[in-house]
Amino acid sequence: MRIALTDIFKFNIAEIDNGHERIVVMLNEIGDSLNDKNIDAALRQVIHLIAVERKHVFYENNLLEKNNYTTTGINTHTDYHSKLNTVLNEIMLALGDQDFALATDLHKMLCTVFLDDILNADLPFKSLLQHKILKI
């Protein structure tokens, strides 16, 4: 499964947009490695994505707290990123067992959770951040 982000998902905040784009590239690279049955490449990308994901959620949550976003909204956002991390860890386990079918199914789930995060957790705070940061 490959995914792409359209302009509607852009925040016009470089750190957020670059983070989302990097995550999409890495999700697609993991999928490509799984299709090629390349355990080492897939595992490297999963480990790298865990690090990128941690940095990204830390930045977003700090920005939300700094701009007085609702506690419920921050918790919802954190929950999505926790789900992403859980699925990434499950993919690592499946790769360790050389279970490409399970790893591929988990990759599809990972893509879905990421897109759900953007639609249900990120887009609701897009306008708030644009108004406060960009002074629209």
Q: Is residue 104 a part of any domain in this protein?
A: yes
Tell me what pLDDT residue 23 has: 96
**Domain housing 23:** 10-133
Q: Is residue 50 a part of any domain in this protein?
A: yes
Is the separation of the CB atoms in 34 and 105 below 8 Å?
no
Per-residue tokens: 94: 């499946």
Tell me what pLDDT residue 133 has: 67
Nearest by Cα to 60 from 35, 89, 80: 80
pLDDT by residue for the chain (136 residues), tens only, comes to: 899 988 888 888 899 999 999 999 999 999 999 999 999 999 999 999 999 999 999 999 999 999 889 999 999 999 999 999 999 999 999 999 999 999 999 999 999 999 999 999 898 888 888 777 655 4
Q: Is residue 123 a part of any domain in this protein?
A: yes
Which DSSP letter does residue 96 get?
A: H
Please state, in angstroms and rounded to a whole number, the distance separating the CA atoms of residues 12 and 14.
6
Whole-structure pTM value: 0.91
Which DSSP letter does residue 9 get?
A: G
Counting the structural domains of the chain, the total is 1
